Amino acid sequence: MVFTSEMTLHGAGLTGSLGVASEMIRAGRAEYVVCLQSDATELFVDALAMGAQADADPQYEVPYGPTIPALYGQAASRYLHEFGLAEADLAQVPIANQKWGVRHPRAVKARFGEIDVEQVLASPYVASPLRLWMCSRWAGGTAGAVVLTAPDNVRPGQDAVYLQGYGTATTHEYLTDRMNMKDLRFAGMGAMPNLTSTATVEAARQAYAMSGLTPSDADVRELSVNFAHMGPIIMEDLGYAEKGRGIDLYREGRTAPGGDLPTDTNGGWLSFGQPGISCNMDAIVEAVRQLRGTALGAKPARDPEVALVQGSGGMLAAAGVLLLTKTA
């Protein structure tokens, strides 16, 4: 059998590849599929300083030399403006993630201990309104792999995790494309153009519909929060809060250890670190370990039965969502 493809979902590509593998197994084109992703950080400079040529419009953005945080900072500014929020509100996101990170032996920011609003706001600007503590850092050469097969192939004693639902969606390529979109809509994204909702809305809808699960069924959530404002935006897009109110989940401690919505249990990209090009593998591995009870860091108060994994790609461009369960 020969099959070639190219996943153009940027950082959400791995999330999407599990869906493709599942479809191939369902169609009888494959029995076992290995999904592998790895990174060699030495090939890249730090994401905070890296130019955004790969994700910037070559005609309208690249000539101005934007960095990745500068492009994301536009969405952060718009989010704060539309919903009357401030930098102190965004500080709640790295504070919550760091509470998980300090409990994980491999989190790159664990050594700094828990943080507070004053520490976050005292860190230097990277791209206004995003300060250093509000930005993910390169985690450093991570890698991982998962093997997919049909449930009938699971042998006795194997600690299998089951893929119950998945979805992917793309809205644009560059932010300039997004700001020219007036007609393309997915339900729940609101009127176009906007910079305060993402393709996660549609990817989640697909995953929920396929699995029969709802946001409240997920016991843990592993997200692609590379900058602080993406935390509340993604939680809103997943259905956990109304648009503009996702920050309340972080402010009230609901996503942190002991909360009822444990999220980014390895510290997420903001504390564990963003694993370079292998973006979503760490999130998938963390979700599987949480379901198996073998997590390296802290565990939720209640043993999880359902895990949600969300992947983001490009400049708010693409998304993928997986729903995994402990039992078939």
In tens digits, what is the pLDDT along the chain, a chain of 328 residues?
A: 567 777 777 778 888 899 999 999 999 999 999 998 877 555 555 555 555 667 888 899 989 988 889 999 999 999 999 999 999 999 999 999 999 999 999 999 999 999 999 999 999 999 999 999 999 987 666 788 999 999 999 998 899 999 999 999 999 989 988 888 888 778 889 988 999 999 999 999 999 999 999 999 999 999 999 999 999 999 999 999 999 999 999 999 999 999 999 999 999 999 999 876 667 889 999 999 999 999 999 999 999 999 999 999 888 999 999 999 999 9
User: What SS3 state is found at 99?
Assistant: helix
Place of tokens 């860091």: 297
What is the model's pLDDT at position 36? 86
Task: Please state the separation of Cα 39 from the chain's center in Å.
Answer: 17
* Contacts (Cβ under 8 Å, ≥6 apart) of 311: 9, 11, 12, 13, 14, 15, 16, 224, 279, 280, 283, 319, 320, 321
What is the model's pLDDT at position 89? 98
* Eight-class DSSP state of 138: B
Domains in the chain, CATH or no CATH each: 10-325 (3.40.47.10)
Please tell me the distance from the alpha carbon of residue 318 to that of residue 310, in angstroms, as a whole number. 11
Q: What is the 3-state secondary structure (H, E, C) of 268-311?
A: HHHHCCECCCCCCHHHHHHHHHHHHCCCCCCCCCCCCCEEEEEE
Pairing of strands 318-325, 306-313: antiparallel
Task: Please state the separation of Cα 247 from the chain's center in Å.
Answer: 16
What is the model's pLDDT at position 117? 98
What is the model's pLDDT at position 46? 53
What is the model's pLDDT at position 41? 54
Task: Please state the separation of Cα 164 from the chain's center in Å.
Answer: 18
What is the model's pLDDT at position 275? 75
- Taking alpha carbons only, the member of 107, 92, 126, 128 closest to residue 253 is 92
What is the model's pLDDT at position 239? 98
What is the model's pLDDT at position 249? 98
162 strand-pairing partners: 325
* Contacts (Cβ under 8 Å, ≥6 apart) of 95: 114, 115, 116, 117, 120, 250, 256
Tokens of 223: 């997200």
Pairing of strands 143-149, 130-131: unpaired
pTM for the whole thing? 0.94
Please tell me the distance from the alpha carbon of residue 86 to that of residue 129, in angstroms, as a whole number. 9
